[in-house]
Structure 1
Amino acid sequence: MKVLIALIAACFLLGACNTVKGFGQDMQKAGEKIEGAAKK
C-alpha cells in the first residue's frame, strides 16, 4: 500500500518535468525512496 501511495505522489511530482531527462531523474529518485522504505 505504501508503494502505491508513493507512486501516486510521484506522478503528481512528475507533472513538473519538462524533459525526458528530468523525468528519468525524478523516477530514479522515486525509486530510491521506495527502495529505502522497503528496507525498513
Structure 2
Amino acid sequence: MIRRIFVPLLAVLFLAGNVVALTACNTVEGAGKDIQKGGEAIKDEAQEHKNY
C-alpha cells in the first residue's frame, strides 16, 4: 500500500526538481549576461571621463 503511493510520488518530485534545475540554468545565464553588460557600460563611461 505505501509502496503504491511512495514510488509515483518520488518520481513526480524527482521530475519536478529536474524541471526547476533546468529553468534555473537559463535564468542564471541571463543574469550573468545582464551583469556583464552593466559592467561594460560602467567601464566605457569611466574611460570617457578618464580622458578629461
Q: TM-score range by the shorter chain?
A: 0.5 to 0.7
TM-score of the superposition, structure 2-length normalised? 0.42
Find runs of 4+ consecutive structure 1 residues off by over 6 angstroms: none
RMSD: 1.3
Tell me the percent identity.
52
Q: Tell me which of the two structures has the higher relative contact order, counting C-alpha pairs closer than 8 angstroms and 6 or more residues apart.
A: 1
Could you say which structure has the larger radius of gyration? 2
Return the structure number with greater helix share.
2
Structure 2 gaps, min length 5: 1-25
Q: How many residues align?
A: 23
Alignment partner for residue 24 of structure 1, among 32, 39, 42? 32
TM-score of the superposition, structure 1-length normalised? 0.54
